[in-house]
Amino acid sequence: MGVAHGEVKAEAPHMGGINEAGCGRGPRIGVYVCHCGLNIAATVDVARVRDAVAGLPGVVVARDNKYTCSEVGQKTIADDIKNLNLDRVVIASCSPRLHERTFRELMARSGLNPFLLEMANIREQCSWVHGHDREAATRKAVALTRAAIARAALLEPLERNVGSVTKSAMVIGGGVAGISAALYLANMGVKTYLVEREPSIGGHMAMLDKTFPTLDCSLCILSPKMVEVRENSNIELLSYTEVRKVEGQVGSFKVELLRKPRYIDEAKCVACGLCAEKCPSKAPDEFNRGYSERKAIYIPFPQAIPASYVIDPNYCRYFTRGGKCRVCEKICERGAVDFSQREEIVTLDVGAIVIATGFEPYDASRKTQYGYGRFPNVITSLDFERIICADGPTHGKLKRPSDWEIPRRIAFIQCVGSRDEHETDGAGKYCSRVCCMITAKQAFMVKEKYPDAEVYVYHTDMRTAGKGFEEFYQRGRSEGIVFVRGKPGEIVENPEDHSLRVVAEDADSGCILDLTFDMVVLAIGLRPPGGLVELAQKLNVSRSADGFLLEGHPKLRPAETSIEGIYLAGCAQFPKDIPDSVAQAGCAAAAAAGVLASDRIEMDPLNPVVDEELCIGCRLCEKLCPYGGIKVEKTDKGFKARVIELACKGCGVCGAACSARAIKMRHYSDEQIYAQTAALLEVG
């Protein structure tokens, strides 16, 4: 620290300034090396970088700026473009993700083609990661800047592609985040398709009995929203439907969906329930987490939207016994049962997409020491919601599964599958954020039902940050809930009465607590949902190390993805509670509506160009393209590759692979990359 760095060397030719000699008729490049305050300058000797590139061929001027992105910094560049007749600009600063747009706009304002800008990332890829070695970091910064200059000399002016905008949106996932996003969009006048893979919308929130910290009945506040989805003329709900394929880009996505057969005509079914009454086949009720049974023809829960029954072919006798039974078909007065339904492909054209695919609860049976799945009275926090819910297996009486008796002593164990380094593939390293408050709520609900119950919460840290959360935690303590700072190593079941022995160290008293409970609730973490990896691939959006989807910027673009026109809402991005999910849904909807409000969209012209003279029609590009963005077609000159601009994402695989060198990547030509690489290797 305390590194001396000069003022902006605006008029100091001897400090690596103007170099008219040696520029001849070639490119006229201005190089600007940024201090970024001390972000770069603390580690990289900025003046040395400037001086090292000042005399290079084509470089007319090289300067260093304290903040290149500031008004002053930008003005210096604009003035140089004008006064020194620059035709290319190299900026060595932060990642282009942050300021490429700023500087491209500056170029355009100054009368230069914005694609004649090249950035060298000497912050994220240099100073921030080599803070311990100033000498090496400076050498690397020189190398990166020289490489950028070498490439800049070969850049070609490009015009941005202009695309039209389809004024509609698709929301993937019909939990509270997806429902909210769809309603926000629809209320802004956007035609919105809400795609849900389950037979009903509602998601996990529909399974909850109450919500923290207000103890609102979950479905009482959710079901009006679900009804609104059904009633809103701007929303088209596609339930029991999955995304198969997505092509195109912001403004014009082409989506292929797979509608699974319900074997019920949604339009005819009035959910009278007569069919289920007569249906002879039973199945475990997944909505009640397997603690009760439903029929093979069923509605997931009474408030389901669409309010239509569905037939489960895994249990229905028509399917399992070869066309027999059909009792439901006979009994349905409205003729809604339709065994002839098949999977159906639906295609949509949308301008923007919101991903709201939610989460998957952690599989508690992976923590074998807690015996979930082996000991009937060990349940998860989600099981608890169903067991205490009026619509659950005990009709709202809190009872324990082994004998359906009322539990008198109940323990909660926190961080099951969260904050866990040990089991890297199944559990999260992160804090799942909601489990502490879920437990505080559930422990309170136990006390509400049975004031004499003894309730212990075993935790590592209670995390109750949120409006009204800490007050709720305090209220729990005042009800007599005992919070133990200590995590039990294991649960041992007494096979006689299915009681559960829990041993834990109470760090606060220093005592080992050896207590026996009637029931133990595991506060399970939130995991990325099954199928998210595949969906992310179809949409070409990035994921973060935790497995959830990566936001555009952790602070400033929390509802955007790495792909323009695709947005995030709710737990698809990271575990969050209901208010945060709804807030992010609003943010995603606003961002999507912003794109849809414009009539045309400009895109970087990064797709490749095929030289038909050189193309031999070998189909290698077609086989390798992950997006179906290049196809070989018969022309009058034989078989030639053709770029499908809508599908191409500009990844460059075809260009790299083309053995005939017929495919040229615009803005990333071989010549540009070779020049860049050669310059990098020159600097030892």
Partner 1 sequence: MDIVITDLDPRFKHEVAKEEGGERVKYCFQCGTCTSGCPVSEIDSKYNPRCIIRMVILGMREQVLRSDFIWLCSTCYTCYERCPQDVRITEVMNALKNMAVREGYIHPAFRAQAELIGSHGRLYEIDEFTEEKREELGLARLSGDIAEVAEIFKITGLAELLSEASQEPVRTASA
Residues that bind partner 1 (CB under 8 A): 369, 415, 419-422, 460-461, 485-490, 503-505, 507, 510, 512
In sequence order, the 6+-apart residues with CB closer than 8 A to the CB of 555 are none
**Which helix or strand (DSSP H or E) is residue 54 part of?**
helix 46-54
Q: How far is the CB of 618 from partner 1 (least distance, A)?
A: 50
**Which helix or strand (DSSP H or E) is residue 77 part of?**
helix 71-83
C-beta of 285 vs 420, nearer to partner 1 = 420
C-beta of 152 vs 520, nearer to partner 1 = 520
Helix ranges (H only) for 363-420 are: 381-388
C-beta of 159 vs 423, nearer to partner 1 = 423
Tokens representing residue 246 in the block: 């997505």
Q: How far is the CB of 431 from partner 1 (least distance, A)?
A: 11
Nearest to 573 by CA among 417, 430, 416, 418: 430
C-beta of 369 vs 474, nearer to partner 1 = 369
Q: How far is the CB of 429 from partner 1 (least distance, A)?
A: 9
As separate numbers, helices (DSSP H) first and strands (DSSP E) second, the chain gives: 17, 34
Nearest to 82 by CA among 117, 34, 23, 30: 30
Strands (E), 239-290: 241-249, 252-259, 282-284
C-beta of 509 vs 635, nearer to partner 1 = 509
C-beta of 2 vs 510, nearer to partner 1 = 510
Q: How far is the CB of 466 from partner 1 (least distance, A)?
A: 21
Write the CA distances from 130 to 51, 161, 206, integer angstroms. 21, 38, 49
Q: Would you give the distance in Å from CA 34 to the centre of its chain?
A: 32
Q: How far is the CB of 485 from partner 1 (least distance, A)?
A: 8
DSSP 616: -
Tokens 């212990």 correspond to 456
Angle at the Cα of 587 from the Cα atoms of 581 and 591, rounded to 5 degrees: 140
**Are 54 and 64 contacting, i.e. CB atoms less than 8 angstroms apart?**
no
Q: How far is the CB of 439 from partner 1 (least distance, A)?
A: 15
Tokens representing residue 395 in the block: 């009709």
C-beta of 35 vs 459, nearer to partner 1 = 459
- Alpha-carbon gap, residue 239 to 199, rounded angstroms: 6
- Alpha-carbon gap, residue 482 to 56, rounded angstroms: 72
**Are 584 and 646 contacting, i.e. CB atoms less than 8 angstroms apart?**
no
Q: How far is the CB of 408 from partner 1 (least distance, A)?
A: 23
C-beta of 347 vs 368, nearer to partner 1 = 368
> For residue 184, how many C-alpha atoms fall within 13 Å in the half-sphere facing its CB?
24
Q: How far is the CB of 507 from partner 1 (least distance, A)?
A: 5
**Which helix or strand (DSSP H or E) is residue 632 part of?**
strand 630-635
C-beta of 80 vs 420, nearer to partner 1 = 420
C-beta of 40 vs 462, nearer to partner 1 = 462
Nearest to 433 by CA among 444, 416, 443, 418: 418
DSSP 125: I
**Are 648 and 629 contacting, i.e. CB atoms less than 8 angstroms apart?**
yes
Q: How far is the CB of 674 from partner 1 (least distance, A)?
A: 43
Nearest to 206 by CA among 298, 276, 302: 302
Q: How far is the CB of 464 from partner 1 (least distance, A)?
A: 17
C-beta of 485 vs 667, nearer to partner 1 = 485
Q: How far is the CB of 411 from partner 1 (least distance, A)?
A: 13
Q: How far is the CB of 435 from partner 1 (least distance, A)?
A: 13
**Are 669 and 658 contacting, i.e. CB atoms less than 8 angstroms apart?**
no
Q: How far is the CB of 561 from partner 1 (least distance, A)?
A: 31
C-beta of 461 vs 534, nearer to partner 1 = 461
C-beta of 105 vs 461, nearer to partner 1 = 461
C-beta of 213 vs 575, nearer to partner 1 = 575
Q: How far is the CB of 330 from partner 1 (least distance, A)?
A: 56
- Alpha-carbon gap, residue 611 to 213, rounded angstroms: 64
**Which helix or strand (DSSP H or E) is residue 51 part of?**
helix 46-54
Q: How far is the CB of 380 from partner 1 (least distance, A)?
A: 17
Helix ranges (H only) for 130-280 are: 134-152, 176-187, 218-231, 274-278
**Are 145 and 106 contacting, i.e. CB atoms less than 8 angstroms apart?**
no
Tokens 């698809």 correspond to 572
DSSP string of 523-584?
A: EE-EEPPTTHHHHHHHHT--B-TTSSBPPSBTTTBTTB-SSTTEEE-GGGTS---HHHHHHH
Judged by DSSP in three states, 352 sits in strand
C-beta of 456 vs 627, nearer to partner 1 = 456
Tokens 């193309």 correspond to 615
